[in-house]
């Protein structure tokens, strides 16, 4: 906060706004933007990893592995995101605490399930009640990342599975005729060729992931939507040095601009990747590039 912010009542409009936007609570809003970007930065490759594993399992020749891959894709895609987020976070948290409880507190005689309550010994709590606040925040953030990765990994798996099937069979047959093993065909032919077919779907999934970040609030993470609602609500002089009316419309307008700018920048990056991958590929995009280059 600036030095001239000591007495907000005597400030001009611009100075008052400068002080208002640099209060500790507003810094939480700015930090939450970094939280959202960090979530996307970690979740995107993690979900892609889950998706690639699910796609490989779904096309396995071993029945149980194929069943597991197809089950993961079908079940997660068939459950509404919001229901999965609310259920999965509670389930994984209680599973971890139950496991720790069984290991750390074997002498515990009371039931863990007590009506609607889930009661474990103090040593089994995650995080521990004595842990600093930042550990609680990191734990909640990691649960959110894992949940997002599981959900969007199923959609990525479906996209990658379709992309693998879209690779021309003639290329695979040619590789086999040259003496390549099944593993070499997968690594050198199938995987490099599939990305051109997967990128449009993955691009759409990235856009959906961006739009899904407000669901962080459901997972206990204070994101930009939470702080926009919190800061934009009516504030009176009794509770704050910077009283104002209901400004939520302005805060959410700022969120609208942020998300539109972010998605537009993403579109430009995806288009660039698409042109790069299409160069020389046996697709409509690659065909057009070959005609333009003549």
pLDDT digits (tens, 9 = 90+) for 109-161: 888 887 778 888 888 888 887 888 888 888 888 888 888 899 999 999 999 99
pLDDT in tens, 47-81: 999 999 999 999 998 999 999 999 999 988 888 87
Amino acid 280: pLDDT: 63
Does 229 or 9 have the greater pLDDT score?
229
Amino acid 92: pLDDT: 85
Q: Alpha-carbon distance 10 to 26, whole Å? A: 21
pLDDT in tens, 12-42: 777 777 777 788 788 888 888 888 899 999 9
Amino acid 73: pLDDT: 93
CB 157 within 8 A of CB 51: yes
Q: Looking at residues 217-240, what average pLDDT do you find?
A: 78
Q: Alpha-carbon distance 278 to 287, whole Å? A: 8
Look up the pTM and report it: 0.81
pLDDT in tens, 232-255: 887 776 657 777 788 889 889 999
Domains by residue range for the chain, with CATH: 31-292 (1.10.3720.10)
Amino acid 8: pLDDT: 63
Amino acid 290: pLDDT: 45
Q: Looking at residues 281-294, what average pLDDT do you find?
A: 49
CB 72 within 8 A of CB 47: no
């Amino acid at each position: 906060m600036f030095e001239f912010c000591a007495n907000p009542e005597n400030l001009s409009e611009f100075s008052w706004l400068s002080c208002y936007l640099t209060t500790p609570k507003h810094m939480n809003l700015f930090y939450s933007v970094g939280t959202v970007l960090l979530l996307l930065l970690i979740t995107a490759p993690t979900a892609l990893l889950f998706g690639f594993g699910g796609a490989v399992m779904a096309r396995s020749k071993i029945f149980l592995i194929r069943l597991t891959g197809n089950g993961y894709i079908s079940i997660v895609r068939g459950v509404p995101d919001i229901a999965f987020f609310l259920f999965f976070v509670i389930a994984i948290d209680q599973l971890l605490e139950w496991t720790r409880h069984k290991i750390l507190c074997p002498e515990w005689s009371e039931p863990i399930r007590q009506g609607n309550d889930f009661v474990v010994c103090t040593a089994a709590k995650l995080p521990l009640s004595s842990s600093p606040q930042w550990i609680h925040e990191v734990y909640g953030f990691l649960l959110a990342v894992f949940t997002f990765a599981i959900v969007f990994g199923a959609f990525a798996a479906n996209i990658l599975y379709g992309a693998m099937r879209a690779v021309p069979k003639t290329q695979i047959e040619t590789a086999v005729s040259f003496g390549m093993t099944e593993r070499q065909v997968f690594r050198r032919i199938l995987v490099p060729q599939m990305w051109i077919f997967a990128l449009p779907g993955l691009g759409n999934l990235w856009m959906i992931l961006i739009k899904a970040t407000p669901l962080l609030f459901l997972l206990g993470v204070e994101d930009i939507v939470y702080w926009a609602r919190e800061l934009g609500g009516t504030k009176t002089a009794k509770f704050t040095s910077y009283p104002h009316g209901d400004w939520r419309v302005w805060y959410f307008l700022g969120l609208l601009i942020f998300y539109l700018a972010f998605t537009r920048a993403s579109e430009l990056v995806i288009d660039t990747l698409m042109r790069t991958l299409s160069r020389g590929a046996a697709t409509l995009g690659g065909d057009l590039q070959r005609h333009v280059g003549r």
